[in-house]
Structure 1
């Protein structure tokens, strides 16, 4: 007997959990997140508050001071009615008078034009100097490439005021190069190191690695088949080089030139040591206005100008990097046949050796002076001793510890903030946060220091003169390096791993801490060493903001140079270089291992 099931015709309502829940409107979703914040939302909010308080607020404050001519305490206006009324009175007297004075000529305008001329000249000369070296690395069988690569990277690790000190040892009135020159029959000195020429030469030979490696990449990426086609049509090797190879590398060359312009314009260490009294440069002038005269109006005007100039050229550099691409489309894989002409390869090797020898001799001169008993107008020191190192380890141990503590403090802030920024930018496409995190790249160190002194010198956040504000300034200034390192690692982590953890019951915040965090360790480690290295050798913020009881090694070197204690300054400088070199090698090893 077969029983058939009959349909009653009554449809039961579906179970509520079996149906997908409609998503609330986008605006309502944001309001719900704000009213019921979870840990992740609070962290994102905290990152915005941190960047707003210690990056945007100081820049806005110093911009307002450039109109009022007197300090403006925006935070104090919130908690103190008297400060609010004072600020309103100053705003009512705001004017463009200070900008008119800048454009009308005088000291500030001359300082701006001198700095622009310096940066433009250094950028052009660096590009001209680096072109043969970049071509040798990318397109020839130049010998000793690995050795040259290591030596060409060396100038980056040397703080600029130490490189300036090395040039003084070489080319000063009693420098060993001038002694050699006079021994060969020359009169006087080769050139006055305390001049615009001295600043230009130091920046050229210690900034060229910033341009060299992007140019090497540009030569490697350009299509070799176009050069082969040019030669097949009867063009000589030199014609192909000039009219085919170099034009293909133009985007990389222009981008490198703009980068060098920005670095030279913002450099503080070289001009503060070598600029003579009559030479006005904008970074030195800004430092003198705030540290010597407490001229808020002048310092603020110069700060705004520095940020605008650096930001403009940084923007152009990024535009060119993104839009100018002279690549070619081809179905055939590109194979690069290196130029094996011995005359070309060996000639480029000799030229590279000459270029590298200048910064190498400068560093070796500082090393020799750190062991010298006395060193005057002679080719070599008159005697050698370890007393200078004993002095710094007995008298300056606190400064060494200060450098490490300050760098670790800045590193801790950078790790936390940068990891969160990388997560929000990659996973949630937080474009505003990405933009904010890039702003420190365009702010010169001396400009950031002036903005901090102006903003945090009164209640409710009276931090000027403390180690806390110095650590925060270090972290803000060097944070983009950590963000770029962690963001690359974050992009390589698939969202499936995080979602699997959430499906097993973990909250998103817990998944970030226990799953994403460990996977980001290679990028965090590489970025950490880079941040630590750059903080150890930081010059402008240190000299402007470091309190006496928290003076790091770099400040001690600077002060000893000004006092004429060149031997102990050289010993401390060598200690900084060794520490930075060791950490740089560790960073390279970690970065290389993280690729596998």
Structure 2
């Protein structure tokens, strides 16, 4: 009897408030990440919705689900592999991503070398401009290219005035999508490549030159091979980003061009074709997961290390021809996205603008319109972002604690899954999973906030986990020894010490939620429409001037928050 009481007592002592919080975190990820993805996986075999949660409370739904699961087959996968629209969409998306990742690497190589290994002038200025493409939502960058290269774009007008015929290129084409993605995604590859060039051992290059090799031979056979891990990792990252991008193709893809993200959106929003949407969702997740795994394999599976002992002082290339040439090349590359954003800004003040180099007049009416007509949308964006931020902070702080202090490896893995799930895929999974009782959340702001939080939580977790590792356990142990519970010790001692990491991650989450496109367009209810959805809808309706004004407002908010984040993190790669 005494042994039984002892066992019960030890169980109760282990199952304290902190254990309860851990189980809540596990249930949260199960309900809003694992279950939706598993549900969509089942639908890809049944071709009809399978609501697992509904089966728990409604016998009719349970009976229907059993019938649908009994008829499950590989029919829809066979149709995908047999050819047709879905197969073409997959091939087109793979070719697009492969082309974009290859071209981005080629474009970034000289710039990365200039930042890391030369005395290239205007480094700080160019570094600031290289952050601009990252903060601009992709459908806004697509709109900027339309203003520049469309049939009545100002670049087209300039081209025709110089004797050209037609347009420089058809912006509503695969070429247009590729160019937008190249010039607005290249910073994702640039900074990892800069780091790769900085980390290689310069003594190998010096040895090559001492043996009589010319500079270009040393660069080709020593410098660039040492940076190969960073280059390959960057290429795989760009592939994943391009494959998952929704904003660019939804604006620029013509009717005859099938891309997997656009097809998935059309199937669910236009036809409620669960079979097609689920198949495409599963394919998107598998492709994204595969290339994410490849990226991790490249960075962890090989050892390209060349540094040992105290690193030598890096001698920068100060050849005038090299540095000047790289500065001019970098200036041309960063000028294109800058002009696209400036074109959107100029159009936001234009009375009318078409077939002319400049608008025919300027006005503030478009900004007055959005503040009069869309104030609620601005507030919606802020409220939704704050909601997602609070949820991210709470869950991420707990996840970081459990991973660092309790070595919760499985929880760490599960919390990283959103990195490989495209926004459209997550949106389709949520709509299918939460459209009936007991969690009938489809079409509500609550589910949108949860989707935002899940999508961006890995950023917050990485930020808080780094801070958590720097906090010694004896600080909280002292609090516990003084009588505080473990949960109270986290809230009153560990939490305040984690504020720098939480603050840095919070701004990153807030920024990415404000400009979120795919989840917003698919899931946002009409009474909770945020700014990004208003811009998208205005672009589709042809209200380009008010769309541009709202787009500039988003960019200004994101720029301001990005500036605050840079001041807090004080992170610089140049």
TM-score (norm 1): 0.94
- Provide the C-alpha distance between the structure 1 equivalents of 2:320 and 2:113, rounded to a whole number of angstroms: 15
For residues 311-347 of structure 1, what are the alpha-carbon distances to aligned partners after superposition, in whole Å with 9 as ceiling and x for unaligned?
0000110111122331225345322100010100010
- Provide the C-alpha distance between the structure 1 equivalents of 2:310 and 2:395, rounded to a whole number of angstroms: 45
- Provide the C-alpha distance between the structure 2 equivalents of 1:156 and 1:206, rounded to a whole number of angstroms: 7
- For the pair 1:91 / 2:69, whether they are aligned, the reply is yes
Shift, 1:375, TM fit:
0.2
How has the CA–CA distance of structure 1 residues 198 and 145 changed in structure 2, closer, same or farther, with 3 Å as cutoff?
same
Corresponding residue of 2:427: 449
- For the pair 1:381 / 2:359, whether they are aligned, the reply is yes
Paired residue secondary structure (2:168): coil
Structural RMSD (CA):
1.6
Kept after mapping to 1: 8 A contact 2:200/2:307:
no
Q: 2:218 aligns with which of 240, 252, 256?
A: 240
How has the CA–CA distance of structure 1 residues 329 and 586 changed in structure 2, closer, same or farther, with 3 Å as cutoff?
closer
- Provide the C-alpha distance between the structure 2 equivalents of 1:384 and 1:331, rounded to a whole number of angstroms: 62
- Provide the C-alpha distance between the structure 1 equivalents of 2:227 and 2:306, rounded to a whole number of angstroms: 13
Corresponding residue of 2:3: none
How has the CA–CA distance of structure 1 residues 316 and 180 changed in structure 2, closer, same or farther, with 3 Å as cutoff?
same
How has the CA–CA distance of structure 1 residues 316 and 40 changed in structure 2, closer, same or farther, with 3 Å as cutoff?
same
How has the CA–CA distance of structure 1 residues 332 and 51 changed in structure 2, closer, same or farther, with 3 Å as cutoff?
closer
Within-5 A mapping of 1:197-346: 197-346=175-324
Corresponding residue of 1:396: 374
Kept after mapping to 1: 8 A contact 2:201/2:311:
no
Q: 2:538 aligns with which of 550, 553, 560?
A: 560
- Provide the C-alpha distance between the structure 2 equivalents of 1:435 and 1:34, rounded to a whole number of angstroms: 28
Within-5 A mapping of 1:562-581: 562-581=540-559
Shift, 1:85, TM fit:
1.2
How has the CA–CA distance of structure 1 residues 181 and 54 changed in structure 2, closer, same or farther, with 3 Å as cutoff?
same
- For the pair 1:423 / 2:401, whether they are aligned, the reply is yes
- For the pair 1:499 / 2:477, whether they are aligned, the reply is yes
Higher Rg:
1
Kept after mapping to 1: 8 A contact 2:201/2:307:
no
Q: 1:116 aligns with which of 85, 91, 94?
A: 94
Shift, 1:506, TM fit:
1.5
- Provide the C-alpha distance between the structure 1 equivalents of 2:264 and 2:183, rounded to a whole number of angstroms: 25
Corresponding residue of 1:176: 154
- For the pair 1:433 / 2:411, whether they are aligned, the reply is yes
- Provide the C-alpha distance between the structure 2 equivalents of 1:215 and 1:363, rounded to a whole number of angstroms: 25
How has the CA–CA distance of structure 1 residues 73 and 34 changed in structure 2, closer, same or farther, with 3 Å as cutoff?
farther
Kept after mapping to 2: 8 A contact 1:58/1:455:
yes
Shift, 1:458, TM fit:
1.0
Corresponding residue of 1:139: 117
Within-5 A mapping of 1:154-169: 154-169=132-147
- Provide the C-alpha distance between the structure 2 equivalents of 1:50 and 1:290, rounded to a whole number of angstroms: 25
For residues 488-508 of structure 1, what are the alpha-carbon distances to aligned partners after superposition, in whole Å with 9 as ceiling and x for unaligned?
110111111111111222111
- Provide the C-alpha distance between the structure 2 equivalents of 1:332 and 1:580, rounded to a whole number of angstroms: 40
For residues 268-306 of structure 1, what are the alpha-carbon distances to aligned partners after superposition, in whole Å with 9 as ceiling and x for unaligned?
000000000000000000000000000000000000000
- Provide the C-alpha distance between the structure 2 equivalents of 1:141 and 1:212, rounded to a whole number of angstroms: 17
How has the CA–CA distance of structure 1 residues 325 and 148 changed in structure 2, closer, same or farther, with 3 Å as cutoff?
farther
What are structure 1's unaligned runs of at least 5 residues? 1-24
- For the pair 1:511 / 2:511, whether they are aligned, the reply is no
Kept after mapping to 1: 8 A contact 2:57/2:437:
no
- Provide the C-alpha distance between the structure 1 equivalents of 2:12 and 2:350, rounded to a whole number of angstroms: 65
Size of the aligned set, in residue pairs, is 569
Shift, 1:400, TM fit:
0.2
Corresponding residue of 2:498: 520
- Provide the C-alpha distance between the structure 2 equivalents of 1:556 and 1:170, rounded to a whole number of angstroms: 22
- Provide the C-alpha distance between the structure 2 equivalents of 1:34 and 1:538, rounded to a whole number of angstroms: 44
How has the CA–CA distance of structure 1 residues 426 and 408 changed in structure 2, closer, same or farther, with 3 Å as cutoff?
same
Paired residue secondary structure (1:485): helix
- Provide the C-alpha distance between the structure 2 equivalents of 1:275 and 1:470, rounded to a whole number of angstroms: 26
Shift, 1:154, TM fit:
0.8
Paired residue secondary structure (2:318): coil
- Provide the C-alpha distance between the structure 1 equivalents of 2:303 and 2:171, rounded to a whole number of angstroms: 41
Shift, 1:37, TM fit:
2.1
- Provide the C-alpha distance between the structure 2 equivalents of 1:94 and 1:34, rounded to a whole number of angstroms: 44
Within-5 A mapping of 1:32-51: 32-33=10-11, 37-51=15-29
- Provide the C-alpha distance between the structure 2 equivalents of 1:33 and 1:398, rounded to a whole number of angstroms: 51
Kept after mapping to 1: 8 A contact 2:156/2:167:
yes
Corresponding residue of 2:456: 478
How has the CA–CA distance of structure 1 residues 249 and 67 changed in structure 2, closer, same or farther, with 3 Å as cutoff?
same
- Provide the C-alpha distance between the structure 1 equivalents of 2:267 and 2:528, rounded to a whole number of angstroms: 23
Corresponding residue of 1:535: 513
- Provide the C-alpha distance between the structure 2 equivalents of 1:531 and 1:552, rounded to a whole number of angstroms: 16
Paired residue secondary structure (1:384): coil
- Provide the C-alpha distance between the structure 2 equivalents of 1:563 and 1:34, rounded to a whole number of angstroms: 61
TM-score (norm 2): 0.97
Paired residue secondary structure (1:340): coil
- Provide the C-alpha distance between the structure 2 equivalents of 1:59 and 1:509, rounded to a whole number of angstroms: 31
Kept after mapping to 2: 8 A contact 1:33/1:41:
no
